[in-house]
Chain A
Amino acid sequence: MPQMVFEDFVPQVIWLVFAFTFLYVVMSRVALPRIAGVIEERRDKIADDLDRAAEFKKEAEQALAAYKEALADARNRALAIAAKNREEVKAETEKLRADSNAKIADMMHDAEQRIEQTKEAALVNVRDVAADVASAVVEKLLGQSVGKETVDAVVDAQLRRSQS
Protein backbone atom coordinates (compact mmCIF):
# COMPACT_ATOMS: atom_id res chain seq x y z
CA MET A 1 0.00 0.00 0.00
CA PRO A 2 1.74 3.22 -1.15
CA GLN A 3 0.17 5.12 1.76
CA MET A 4 2.23 3.11 4.22
CA VAL A 5 5.67 3.71 2.71
CA PHE A 6 7.25 5.52 5.62
CA GLU A 7 10.20 6.99 3.74
CA ASP A 8 7.65 8.92 1.62
CA PHE A 9 6.10 10.57 4.69
CA VAL A 10 8.78 13.19 5.27
CA PRO A 11 8.81 14.81 1.82
CA GLN A 12 5.00 14.83 1.74
CA VAL A 13 4.71 16.53 5.12
CA ILE A 14 7.50 18.99 4.30
CA TRP A 15 5.86 20.00 1.04
CA LEU A 16 2.46 20.12 2.69
CA VAL A 17 3.88 22.55 5.25
CA PHE A 18 5.43 24.65 2.43
CA ALA A 19 2.33 24.67 0.30
CA PHE A 20 -0.14 25.21 3.12
CA THR A 21 1.90 27.95 4.79
CA PHE A 22 2.39 29.77 1.49
CA LEU A 23 -1.30 29.46 0.69
CA TYR A 24 -2.28 30.65 4.17
CA VAL A 25 -0.03 33.71 3.92
CA VAL A 26 -1.30 34.60 0.43
CA MET A 27 -4.94 34.10 1.46
CA SER A 28 -4.76 36.00 4.75
CA ARG A 29 -2.52 38.81 3.51
CA VAL A 30 -3.62 39.37 -0.08
CA ALA A 31 -6.60 37.46 -1.44
CA LEU A 32 -9.12 37.54 1.41
CA PRO A 33 -8.62 41.20 2.43
CA ARG A 34 -9.05 42.14 -1.23
CA ILE A 35 -12.27 40.17 -1.64
CA ALA A 36 -13.56 41.49 1.69
CA GLY A 37 -12.65 45.02 0.57
CA VAL A 38 -14.55 44.71 -2.68
CA ILE A 39 -17.61 43.22 -0.97
CA GLU A 40 -17.46 45.93 1.72
CA GLU A 41 -17.08 48.62 -0.94
CA ARG A 42 -20.11 47.31 -2.78
CA ARG A 43 -22.16 47.17 0.43
CA ASP A 44 -21.16 50.78 1.21
CA LYS A 45 -21.98 51.89 -2.31
CA ILE A 46 -25.41 50.25 -2.18
CA ALA A 47 -26.11 51.78 1.23
CA ASP A 48 -24.96 55.17 -0.09
CA ASP A 49 -27.12 54.86 -3.17
CA LEU A 50 -30.12 53.90 -1.06
CA ASP A 51 -29.49 56.89 1.18
CA ARG A 52 -29.25 59.17 -1.82
CA ALA A 53 -32.40 57.68 -3.31
CA ALA A 54 -34.24 58.31 -0.03
CA GLU A 55 -32.97 61.88 -0.06
CA PHE A 56 -34.14 62.40 -3.64
CA LYS A 57 -37.51 60.94 -2.74
CA LYS A 58 -37.81 63.38 0.15
CA GLU A 59 -36.88 66.25 -2.15
CA ALA A 60 -39.43 65.11 -4.71
CA GLU A 61 -42.07 64.90 -2.01
CA GLN A 62 -41.18 68.39 -0.83
CA ALA A 63 -41.39 69.68 -4.40
CA LEU A 64 -44.77 68.02 -4.80
CA ALA A 65 -46.00 69.58 -1.57
CA ALA A 66 -44.74 73.01 -2.66
CA TYR A 67 -46.40 72.56 -6.04
CA LYS A 68 -49.69 71.59 -4.43
CA GLU A 69 -49.47 74.56 -2.12
CA ALA A 70 -48.75 76.90 -5.02
CA LEU A 71 -51.65 75.39 -6.93
CA ALA A 72 -54.04 75.85 -4.01
CA ASP A 73 -52.76 79.40 -3.54
CA ALA A 74 -53.30 80.22 -7.21
CA ARG A 75 -56.78 78.73 -7.12
CA ASN A 76 -57.66 80.78 -4.06
CA ARG A 77 -56.32 83.92 -5.69
CA ALA A 78 -58.23 83.17 -8.87
CA LEU A 79 -61.41 82.68 -6.87
CA ALA A 80 -60.79 85.94 -5.01
CA ILE A 81 -60.19 87.83 -8.26
CA ALA A 82 -63.29 86.31 -9.81
CA ALA A 83 -65.38 87.23 -6.78
CA LYS A 84 -63.98 90.77 -6.79
CA ASN A 85 -64.73 91.17 -10.52
CA ARG A 86 -68.23 89.89 -9.99
CA GLU A 87 -68.72 92.42 -7.19
CA GLU A 88 -67.35 95.22 -9.36
CA VAL A 89 -69.51 94.31 -12.34
CA LYS A 90 -72.53 94.03 -10.07
CA ALA A 91 -71.83 97.42 -8.52
CA GLU A 92 -71.35 99.00 -11.93
CA THR A 93 -74.53 97.44 -13.25
CA GLU A 94 -76.35 98.64 -10.17
CA LYS A 95 -75.00 102.14 -10.66
CA LEU A 96 -75.89 102.12 -14.33
CA ARG A 97 -79.38 100.96 -13.54
CA ALA A 98 -79.79 103.60 -10.87
CA ASP A 99 -78.49 106.24 -13.28
CA SER A 100 -80.81 105.06 -16.01
CA ASN A 101 -83.72 104.99 -13.61
CA ALA A 102 -82.95 108.51 -12.46
CA LYS A 103 -82.65 109.70 -16.05
CA ILE A 104 -85.89 107.96 -16.99
CA ALA A 105 -87.59 109.49 -13.98
CA ASP A 106 -86.29 112.92 -15.02
CA MET A 107 -87.46 112.42 -18.53
CA MET A 108 -90.86 111.25 -17.35
CA HIS A 109 -91.05 114.21 -15.10
CA ASP A 110 -90.21 116.54 -17.98
CA ALA A 111 -92.69 114.78 -20.20
CA GLU A 112 -95.38 115.06 -17.58
CA GLN A 113 -94.59 118.73 -17.17
CA ARG A 114 -94.73 119.20 -20.88
CA ILE A 115 -98.03 117.34 -21.05
CA GLU A 116 -99.31 119.50 -18.25
CA GLN A 117 -98.20 122.67 -20.06
CA THR A 118 -99.62 121.46 -23.33
CA LYS A 119 -102.82 120.54 -21.59
CA GLU A 120 -102.97 123.94 -19.92
CA ALA A 121 -102.19 125.68 -23.18
CA ALA A 122 -104.79 123.53 -24.86
CA LEU A 123 -107.28 124.39 -22.16
CA VAL A 124 -106.56 128.09 -22.61
CA ASN A 125 -107.06 127.67 -26.35
CA VAL A 126 -110.28 125.74 -25.72
CA ARG A 127 -111.53 128.62 -23.54
CA ASP A 128 -110.66 131.15 -26.21
CA VAL A 129 -112.27 129.06 -28.91
CA ALA A 130 -115.30 128.47 -26.70
CA ALA A 131 -115.53 132.20 -25.98
CA ASP A 132 -115.28 133.02 -29.67
CA VAL A 133 -117.82 130.36 -30.58
CA ALA A 134 -120.11 131.48 -27.78
CA SER A 135 -119.92 135.14 -28.79
CA ALA A 136 -120.46 134.18 -32.42
CA VAL A 137 -123.45 131.99 -31.48
CA VAL A 138 -124.88 134.69 -29.23
CA GLU A 139 -124.38 137.30 -31.97
CA LYS A 140 -126.12 135.04 -34.46
CA LEU A 141 -128.99 134.30 -32.06
CA LEU A 142 -129.50 137.78 -30.68
CA GLY A 143 -128.30 139.68 -33.60
CA GLN A 144 -126.17 141.80 -31.46
CA SER A 145 -122.81 141.38 -29.91
CA VAL A 146 -122.34 140.80 -26.22
CA GLY A 147 -119.43 142.31 -24.41
CA LYS A 148 -116.32 140.25 -24.53
CA GLU A 149 -115.82 140.28 -20.73
CA THR A 150 -119.33 138.87 -20.18
CA VAL A 151 -118.79 136.03 -22.58
CA ASP A 152 -115.41 135.24 -20.98
CA ALA A 153 -116.87 135.21 -17.51
CA VAL A 154 -119.67 132.88 -18.50
CA VAL A 155 -117.36 130.54 -20.40
CA ASP A 156 -114.92 130.43 -17.47
CA ALA A 157 -117.75 129.66 -15.11
CA GLN A 158 -119.00 126.91 -17.37
CA LEU A 159 -115.47 125.45 -17.78
CA ARG A 160 -114.90 125.45 -14.08
CA ARG A 161 -118.20 123.73 -13.56
CA SER A 162 -117.42 121.07 -16.14
CA GLN A 163 -113.94 120.54 -14.77
CA SER A 164 -115.00 120.18 -11.20
Chain B
Amino acid sequence: MAESNAGGVGIDPMHQFEIRRYVELDFLGVDVSFTNSSLWMVIAVALITAFTTLSMSGRALVPGRWQSAAEMTYEFVASMVRDNVGTDGMRYFPFIFTTFMFVLFCNMLGMIPYSFTVTSHIIVTFAMAVLIFLGVTIIGFITHGLGFFKFFVPPGIPAVLLPLLVVIEIISYLTRPISLSVRLFANMLAGHTMLKVFAGFVVLMGIWGVLPLVFMVALTGLEILIAFLQAYVFAILTCIYLNDALHMHH
Protein backbone atom coordinates (compact mmCIF):
# COMPACT_ATOMS: atom_id res chain seq x y z
CA MET B 1 0.00 0.00 0.00
CA ALA B 2 2.94 2.26 0.69
CA GLU B 3 3.91 2.18 -2.98
CA SER B 4 0.50 3.32 -4.14
CA ASN B 5 0.83 6.47 -2.05
CA ALA B 6 4.44 7.19 -2.88
CA GLY B 7 3.63 10.00 -5.27
CA GLY B 8 0.29 11.07 -3.82
CA VAL B 9 -0.59 13.78 -1.35
CA GLY B 10 -2.12 11.37 1.14
CA ILE B 11 -0.15 9.70 3.88
CA ASP B 12 -0.96 6.05 4.22
CA PRO B 13 -1.97 5.58 7.88
CA MET B 14 -1.40 1.83 7.64
CA HIS B 15 2.19 2.17 6.47
CA GLN B 16 3.41 2.33 10.07
CA PHE B 17 2.13 -1.21 10.73
CA GLU B 18 4.11 -2.86 7.95
CA ILE B 19 6.49 -5.62 8.90
CA ARG B 20 9.96 -5.04 7.55
CA ARG B 21 12.56 -7.76 7.57
CA TYR B 22 15.91 -6.41 8.77
CA VAL B 23 17.67 -9.77 8.64
CA GLU B 24 16.26 -12.59 6.56
CA LEU B 25 16.65 -15.78 8.57
CA ASP B 26 15.55 -19.27 7.82
CA PHE B 27 15.71 -22.06 10.39
CA LEU B 28 14.81 -25.54 9.07
CA GLY B 29 12.44 -24.03 6.59
CA VAL B 30 10.77 -21.79 9.19
CA ASP B 31 10.90 -18.05 8.61
CA VAL B 32 12.56 -16.59 11.73
CA SER B 33 13.56 -13.29 10.13
CA PHE B 34 14.52 -10.45 12.44
CA THR B 35 11.87 -7.82 11.73
CA ASN B 36 10.99 -4.40 13.08
CA SER B 37 8.49 -6.21 15.31
CA SER B 38 11.29 -8.43 16.65
CA LEU B 39 13.45 -5.37 17.23
CA TRP B 40 10.86 -3.63 19.38
CA MET B 41 10.09 -6.82 21.27
CA VAL B 42 13.79 -7.14 22.07
CA ILE B 43 13.94 -3.46 23.09
CA ALA B 44 10.92 -3.94 25.33
CA VAL B 45 12.43 -7.04 26.94
CA ALA B 46 15.78 -5.28 27.40
CA LEU B 47 14.15 -2.23 28.99
CA ILE B 48 11.96 -4.31 31.31
CA THR B 49 14.97 -6.38 32.34
CA ALA B 50 17.03 -3.23 32.97
CA PHE B 51 14.16 -1.58 34.84
CA THR B 52 13.57 -4.52 37.16
CA THR B 53 17.17 -5.64 37.73
CA LEU B 54 19.48 -2.63 37.46
CA SER B 55 17.20 -0.53 39.64
CA MET B 56 17.38 -3.20 42.34
CA SER B 57 21.15 -3.67 42.15
CA GLY B 58 21.61 -1.44 45.19
CA ARG B 59 19.16 -3.54 47.24
CA ALA B 60 18.78 -0.40 49.32
CA LEU B 61 16.74 -0.49 52.48
CA VAL B 62 15.62 3.04 51.71
CA PRO B 63 14.95 2.89 47.96
CA GLY B 64 16.05 5.49 45.43
CA ARG B 65 13.82 6.69 42.58
CA TRP B 66 14.34 3.76 40.22
CA GLN B 67 14.17 1.16 42.96
CA SER B 68 10.99 2.80 44.23
CA ALA B 69 9.48 2.66 40.78
CA ALA B 70 10.40 -1.02 40.36
CA GLU B 71 9.02 -1.87 43.79
CA MET B 72 5.82 0.07 43.11
CA THR B 73 5.33 -1.82 39.85
CA TYR B 74 5.89 -5.08 41.71
CA GLU B 75 3.41 -4.15 44.45
CA PHE B 76 0.90 -2.93 41.86
CA VAL B 77 0.83 -6.23 39.99
CA ALA B 78 1.12 -8.27 43.19
CA SER B 79 -1.92 -6.58 44.71
CA MET B 80 -3.78 -7.01 41.41
CA VAL B 81 -3.17 -10.76 41.58
CA ARG B 82 -3.94 -10.96 45.31
CA ASP B 83 -7.19 -9.01 44.99
CA ASN B 84 -8.48 -10.79 41.88
CA VAL B 85 -7.16 -14.31 42.30
CA GLY B 86 -6.21 -14.65 45.96
CA THR B 87 -3.06 -15.80 47.68
CA ASP B 88 -3.06 -19.18 45.90
CA GLY B 89 -2.86 -17.23 42.64
CA MET B 90 0.54 -15.83 43.66
CA ARG B 91 2.10 -18.94 42.05
CA TYR B 92 1.19 -17.39 38.70
CA PHE B 93 2.34 -13.91 39.69
CA PRO B 94 5.56 -14.04 37.59
CA PHE B 95 3.51 -14.86 34.51
CA ILE B 96 0.98 -12.06 35.11
CA PHE B 97 3.84 -9.66 35.84
CA THR B 98 5.64 -10.64 32.63
CA THR B 99 2.43 -10.30 30.60
CA PHE B 100 1.57 -6.91 32.07
CA MET B 101 5.07 -5.50 31.66
CA PHE B 102 5.48 -6.85 28.13
CA VAL B 103 2.18 -5.42 26.92
CA LEU B 104 2.73 -2.15 28.79
CA PHE B 105 6.21 -1.61 27.37
CA CYS B 106 5.19 -2.60 23.85
CA ASN B 107 2.24 -0.20 24.00
CA MET B 108 4.33 2.62 25.46
CA LEU B 109 7.27 2.14 23.09
CA GLY B 110 4.75 2.34 20.25
CA MET B 111 4.06 5.94 21.29
CA ILE B 112 7.59 6.95 20.31
CA PRO B 113 7.56 8.49 16.80
CA TYR B 114 9.04 6.22 14.10
CA SER B 115 8.85 3.23 16.42
CA PHE B 116 6.77 0.14 15.83
CA THR B 117 3.85 -1.01 17.98
CA VAL B 118 4.23 -4.75 18.51
CA THR B 119 0.76 -5.05 20.04
CA SER B 120 -0.93 -3.48 17.00
CA HIS B 121 -0.72 -6.84 15.26
CA ILE B 122 -3.56 -9.26 15.86
CA ILE B 123 -1.27 -12.25 15.54
CA VAL B 124 0.86 -11.09 18.48
CA THR B 125 -2.05 -10.32 20.80
CA PHE B 126 -3.89 -13.44 19.66
CA ALA B 127 -0.84 -15.64 20.35
CA MET B 128 -0.65 -14.24 23.87
CA ALA B 129 -4.41 -14.60 24.38
CA VAL B 130 -4.32 -18.20 23.19
CA LEU B 131 -1.42 -18.94 25.52
CA ILE B 132 -3.42 -17.48 28.42
CA PHE B 133 -6.59 -19.28 27.35
CA LEU B 134 -4.88 -22.67 27.06
CA GLY B 135 -2.91 -22.16 30.27
CA VAL B 136 -6.00 -21.16 32.24
CA THR B 137 -8.03 -24.06 30.85
CA ILE B 138 -5.27 -26.54 31.72
CA ILE B 139 -4.98 -25.07 35.22
CA GLY B 140 -8.77 -25.42 35.55
CA PHE B 141 -8.71 -29.10 34.61
CA ILE B 142 -5.67 -29.82 36.81
CA THR B 143 -7.29 -28.11 39.80
CA HIS B 144 -10.82 -29.52 39.45
CA GLY B 145 -10.42 -32.50 37.14
CA LEU B 146 -13.52 -33.17 35.06
CA GLY B 147 -15.43 -31.10 37.62
CA PHE B 148 -14.20 -28.07 35.70
CA PHE B 149 -16.99 -28.76 33.19
CA LYS B 150 -19.41 -27.63 35.90
CA PHE B 151 -18.05 -24.16 35.22
CA PHE B 152 -20.30 -24.11 32.14
CA VAL B 153 -23.39 -24.98 34.16
CA PRO B 154 -24.68 -21.89 35.95
CA PRO B 155 -26.24 -22.75 39.33
CA GLY B 156 -29.96 -22.16 40.07
CA ILE B 157 -31.19 -22.32 36.47
CA PRO B 158 -34.41 -24.13 35.39
CA ALA B 159 -33.71 -27.41 33.59
CA VAL B 160 -35.50 -26.18 30.46
CA LEU B 161 -33.08 -23.32 29.98
CA LEU B 162 -30.03 -25.34 30.90
CA PRO B 163 -29.02 -26.68 27.46
CA LEU B 164 -29.27 -23.23 25.96
CA LEU B 165 -27.31 -21.60 28.76
CA VAL B 166 -24.58 -24.23 28.72
CA VAL B 167 -24.11 -23.58 25.01
CA ILE B 168 -23.95 -19.84 25.64
CA GLU B 169 -21.47 -20.33 28.47
CA ILE B 170 -19.24 -22.52 26.30
CA ILE B 171 -19.35 -20.03 23.43
CA SER B 172 -18.55 -17.14 25.75
CA TYR B 173 -15.67 -19.13 27.21
CA LEU B 174 -14.30 -20.00 23.79
CA THR B 175 -14.50 -16.40 22.58
CA ARG B 176 -12.34 -15.22 25.46
CA PRO B 177 -9.05 -15.37 23.51
CA ILE B 178 -10.70 -13.49 20.63
CA SER B 179 -12.14 -10.71 22.78
CA LEU B 180 -8.93 -10.47 24.80
CA SER B 181 -6.70 -10.18 21.73
CA VAL B 182 -9.00 -8.04 19.57
CA ARG B 183 -9.53 -5.52 22.41
CA LEU B 184 -5.82 -4.81 22.71
CA PHE B 185 -5.03 -4.99 19.00
CA ALA B 186 -7.98 -2.81 17.96
CA ASN B 187 -7.21 -0.16 20.55
CA MET B 188 -3.61 0.09 19.40
CA LEU B 189 -4.54 0.00 15.72
CA ALA B 190 -7.27 2.61 16.03
CA GLY B 191 -5.21 4.97 18.16
CA HIS B 192 -2.15 4.92 15.94
CA THR B 193 -4.20 5.14 12.75
CA MET B 194 -6.10 8.14 14.08
CA LEU B 195 -2.85 9.85 15.08
CA LYS B 196 -1.48 9.26 11.61
CA VAL B 197 -4.62 10.53 9.89
CA PHE B 198 -4.52 13.75 11.92
CA ALA B 199 -0.82 14.07 11.23
CA GLY B 200 -1.77 13.93 7.54
CA PHE B 201 -4.24 16.78 8.12
CA VAL B 202 -1.53 18.88 9.73
CA VAL B 203 0.51 18.61 6.54
CA LEU B 204 -2.44 19.14 4.21
CA MET B 205 -4.01 22.15 5.96
CA GLY B 206 -0.92 24.33 5.87
CA ILE B 207 -1.23 27.20 8.38
CA TRP B 208 -4.56 25.82 9.64
CA GLY B 209 -2.74 22.61 10.41
CA VAL B 210 -2.26 24.10 13.87
CA LEU B 211 -5.80 22.99 14.73
CA PRO B 212 -5.29 19.25 14.11
CA LEU B 213 -1.85 19.62 15.72
CA VAL B 214 -3.46 20.83 18.96
CA PHE B 215 -5.92 17.98 18.71
CA MET B 216 -3.04 15.56 18.17
CA VAL B 217 -1.27 16.72 21.31
CA ALA B 218 -4.41 15.98 23.32
CA LEU B 219 -4.86 12.70 21.48
CA THR B 220 -1.29 11.66 22.24
CA GLY B 221 -2.01 12.12 25.95
CA LEU B 222 -5.14 10.03 25.58
CA GLU B 223 -3.21 7.36 23.66
CA ILE B 224 -0.61 7.14 26.45
CA LEU B 225 -3.46 6.63 28.90
CA ILE B 226 -4.95 3.95 26.64
CA ALA B 227 -1.53 2.28 26.30
CA PHE B 228 -1.42 1.90 30.08
CA LEU B 229 -5.11 1.09 30.43
CA GLN B 230 -5.06 -1.68 27.82
CA ALA B 231 -2.04 -3.30 29.46
CA TYR B 232 -3.88 -3.11 32.76
CA VAL B 233 -7.08 -4.53 31.26
CA PHE B 234 -5.13 -7.34 29.60
CA ALA B 235 -3.46 -8.26 32.90
CA ILE B 236 -6.61 -7.97 34.99
CA LEU B 237 -8.63 -10.10 32.57
CA THR B 238 -5.88 -12.72 32.77
CA CYS B 239 -6.28 -12.55 36.57
CA ILE B 240 -10.06 -12.94 36.29
CA TYR B 241 -9.76 -15.93 33.95
CA LEU B 242 -7.22 -17.47 36.28
CA ASN B 243 -9.54 -16.89 39.22
CA ASP B 244 -12.38 -18.62 37.33
CA ALA B 245 -10.11 -21.60 36.69
CA LEU B 246 -8.91 -21.81 40.30
CA HIS B 247 -12.14 -21.05 42.17
CA MET B 248 -14.89 -21.66 39.57
CA HIS B 249 -17.34 -19.06 40.77
CA HIS B 250 -19.36 -16.79 38.56
Most buried by B among A9, A12, A32, A42: A12
The answer to the question of B242 belonging to the interface, with a C-beta cut-off of 8 Å to chain A, is: no
Residue A84, interface by CB 8 Å: no
Within 8 Å of chain B (Cβ to Cβ): is A149? no
Number of residues on chain B facing chain A (CB within 8 A): 50
Give which listed residue, B25, B31, B74, B189, contacts A32 with CB less than 8 A: B74
Taking a contact as CB atoms under 8 Å apart, the answer to whether B59 and A24 are in contact is no
Q: How far is the CB of B96 from chain A (nearest CB, A)?
A: 10
Taking CB atoms, residues of chain A closer than 8 Å to B185 are 3
Known: A11-B21, A12-B35, A15-B35. A27 touches B30 (CB 8 A): no
Assuming the contacts A15-B35, A45-B61, asked whether A23 and B49 have C-beta atoms less than 8 A apart, the reply is: yes
Stretch with Cβ within 8 A of A (4 or more), from B121-129, B138-146, B207-215, B229-237: B121-129
Inter-subunit contact B35/A32 (CB<8 Å): no
Interface-lining segment among A33-41, A101-109, A126-134: A33-41
Instruction: Tell me the bound Cα distance from A122 to B72 in angstroms.
Output: 126
Type the 1/0 row for B28-72, where 1 means its CB is closer than 8 Å to any CB of A.
001111110110011011001100110010011101000100110
Q: Which residues of A contact B52 (CB under 8 A)?
A: 27, 31-32, 35
Which B residues are in CB contact (< 8 Å) with A35?
A: 52, 56, 70-71, 74
Binds A, one of B12-20, B172-180, B197-205: B12-20
Instruction: Tell me the chain A residues, 58-112 only, with Cβ under 8 Å from chain B.
Output: none
- Shortest Cβ distance from residue B113 to the other chain A in the assembled complex, whole angstroms: 18
Q: Does B101 contact A (CB under 8 A)?
A: yes
Q: Is B94 in contact with A28, judged by CB distance below 8 angstroms?
A: yes
Q: Which residue from A3, A8, A9 sits with its C-beta under 8 Å from B120?
A: A3
B102–A11 touching, CB < 8 Å:
no
- How close is B74's CB to chain A, nearest CB, in angstroms? 5
Interface of A is mostly: helix
Partner among A9, A11, A22, A37 whose Cβ is within 8 Å of the Cβ of B32: A11
| Interface contact A10-B30, CB-CB below 8 Å | yes
CA distance A155 to B118 in the complex (A): 164
Contacts of A27 in B (CB 8 A): 48, 52, 94, 97-98, 101
Per-residue contact bits, chain B 98-134, to A (CB 8 Å; 1 contact, 0 not): 1001100000000000000010111110011000000
* A22, A30, A31, A32 pick with most chain B CB within 10 angstroms: A31
Q: Which residue of B lies closest to A30 (CB)?
A: B53
**CB atoms of A23 and B45 under 8 A apart:** yes
Interface centre among B34, B38, B95 (most CB of A within 10 A): B38
Given contacts A15-B38, A32-B74, A34-B59, 15 further A-B contacts (CB under 8 A): A2-B14, A2-B18, A8-B19, A13-B124, A14-B31, A15-B37, A16-B118, A18-B41, A19-B45, A24-B94, A28-B94, A28-B98, A31-B52, A32-B93, A39-B74
Interchain residue pairs with CB less than 8 A apart (7): A11-B19, A12-B123, A23-B102, A27-B52, A38-B59, A38-B63, A38-B67
Measured CB to CB, the residues of A under 8 A from B are 1-3, 5, 7-20, 22-24, 26-28, 30-32, 34-39, 41-42, 45
